[in-house]
């Protein structure tokens, strides 16, 4: 008899993480394979705030870093930008986004490139808006700066850069406590996590030449039932919980992730910033 876990695997072969042991795969891909489509720390609400502050229009040339499953991409494309380019490292995710976005269909300028956000190989000043979510938090400071510099290079003067990331609160959180939280979150999600406080995020972007045009935040409630229903809808959340109940290894992983997130619920948050490349910048 086929177990529920096996049936989920067979129905999700096109998703990232196919063939990996659920006990070892990165937490975000495990959640995706269980049916969770919104994988951002501040949920759809903070994503909508980011897109609202970016104010995309038909005149924009948009570059998205790490589109994941393409949820935000489809929201951004509702503005009918002049062009859209996604840079996705994971080949399976890139294929998924191509399928859902209809790359190149109806004469529209859409493309998904399987590549690295820190080295896109796109031309200088080719974009008017760049955005990325839940990716800088997972990088070392060196890699954070490489990605931010690439966004700066891609933007025309006056262009906007939107980010939606995991953050630490408060701003005066002791360094040893921040280190412990990063260690525990990394262990729980099986992927490096290096979030910054709100103030340090802002200092990082300013140090790379950006001006801050918008800031907002939200609780980090990724696995709380109310957020799940809000982000996934009633039936999406029901499907997720049903798969979770039927899959022991996945359930143990998700329980541990939720335990850590809940333990640090007063120190973990989500931040949205929209930065601007100064007019007259090279």
Alpha-carbon distance 265 to 21, whole Å? 28
Q: Please tell me whether residues 242 and 229 are part of one structural domain.
A: yes
Report yes or no on 182 lying in a domain.
Answer: no
Q: Please tell me whether residues 272 and 252 are part of one structural domain.
A: no
pLDDT tens, 76-132?
A: 999 999 999 999 998 888 888 888 776 554 446 889 999 999 999 999 999 999 999
Q: Please tell me whether residues 30 and 106 are part of one structural domain.
A: no
Sequence-distant (6+) residues with CB within 8 A of 253 are 22, 23, 27, 30
Q: Please tell me whether residues 252 and 149 are part of one structural domain.
A: no
Distance separating the N- and C-terminal Cα atoms of the chain: 63
Count other C-beta atoms under 10 Å from residue 254's C-beta. Answer: 21
With b for 16 or more beta-carbon neighbours within 10 A and e for fewer, the 95-104 pattern comes to bbbbeebebe
Q: Which two tokens stand for residue 36?
A: 């969770």
- Among the residue ranges 20-29, 85-94, 141-150, 222-231, the one predicted with the least confidence is 20-29
Report yes or no on 106 lying in a domain.
Answer: yes
Sequence-distant (6+) residues with CB within 8 A of 125 are 153, 154, 155, 156, 157, 159
- Among the residue ranges 10-19, 58-67, 84-93, 177-186, the one predicted with the least confidence is 10-19
pLDDT band at 2 (very low <50, low <70, confident <90, very high): very low
Q: Please tell me whether residues 13 and 79 are part of one structural domain.
A: no
What's the pLDDT at 281?
A: 79
Q: Please tell me whether residues 94 and 213 are part of one structural domain.
A: yes
Q: Please tell me whether residues 15 and 119 are part of one structural domain.
A: no
- pLDDT over 70 at 7, yes or no: no
pLDDT band at 236 (very low <50, low <70, confident <90, very high): very high
Q: Which of 159, 148, 154, 147 has its CA nearest to residue 280? A: 159
Q: Please tell me whether residues 106 and 210 are part of one structural domain.
A: yes
Q: Please tell me whether residues 210 and 155 are part of one structural domain.
A: yes
Q: Please tell me whether residues 229 and 135 are part of one structural domain.
A: no
- Residue 173: phi and psi, rounded to 5, are -60, 125
Report yes or no on 231 lying in a domain.
Answer: yes
Average pLDDT rounded to a whole number, residues 164-177 = 97
Q: Is 191 exposed, middle or buried (0-12, 13-18, 19+ CB in 10 A)?
A: middle
Q: Please tell me whether residues 89 and 146 are part of one structural domain.
A: yes
CATH number at residue 47: 3.40.50.150
Q: Please tell me whether residues 216 and 86 are part of one structural domain.
A: yes
Q: How many domains does the chain have?
A: 2
Report yes or no on 178 lying in a domain.
Answer: no
Report yes or no on 116 lying in a domain.
Answer: yes
For 259, the domain range is 4-37+223-263
What's the pLDDT at 101?
A: 73
Average pLDDT rounded to a whole number, residues 43-65 = 97
Report yes or no on 281 lying in a domain.
Answer: no
Report yes or no on 52 lying in a domain.
Answer: yes
- pLDDT over 70 at 198, yes or no: yes
Report yes or no on 134 lying in a domain.
Answer: yes
- Residue 78: phi and psi, rounded to 5, are -65, -20
């Amino acid at each position: 008899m086929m177990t529920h876990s096996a049936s989920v695997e067979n129905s999700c072969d096109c998703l990232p993480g196919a063939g990996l042991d659920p006990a070892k795969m990165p937490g975000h891909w495990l959640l995706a394979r269980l049916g969770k489509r919104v994988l951002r720390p501040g949920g759809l609400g903070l994503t909508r705030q980011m897109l609202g502050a970016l104010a995309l229009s038909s005149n924009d040339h948009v570059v998205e870093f790490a589109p994941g499953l393409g949820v935000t991409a489809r929201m951004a494309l509702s503005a009918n930008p002049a062009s859209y380019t996604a840079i996705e490292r994971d080949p399976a995710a890139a294929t998924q986004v191509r399928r859902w976005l209809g790359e190149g269909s109806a004469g529209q300028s859409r493309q998904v490139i399987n590549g690295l956000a820190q080295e896109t190989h796109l031309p200088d000043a080719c974009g008017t808006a760049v955005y990325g979510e839940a990716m800088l938090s997972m990088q070392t400071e060196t890699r954070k700066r490489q990605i931010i510099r690439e966004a700066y290079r891609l933007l025309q003067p006056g262009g906007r850069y939107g980010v939606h990331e995991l953050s630490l609160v408060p701003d005066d959180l002791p360094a040893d406590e921040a280190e412990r939280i990063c260690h525990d979150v990394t262990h729980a999600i099986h992927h490096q996590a290096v979030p910054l406080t709100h103030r340090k995020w802002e200092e990082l972007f300013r140090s790379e030449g950006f001006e801050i045009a918008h800031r907002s935040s939200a609780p980090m409630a990724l696995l709380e039932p109310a957020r799940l229903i809000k982000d996934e809808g009633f039936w999406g959340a029901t499907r997720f919980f049903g798969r979770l109940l039927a899959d022991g290894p996945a359930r143990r992983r998700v329980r541990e992730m939720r335990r850590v997130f809940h333990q640090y619920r007063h120190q973990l948050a989500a931040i949205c910033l929209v930065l601007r490349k100064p007019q007259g910048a090279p």
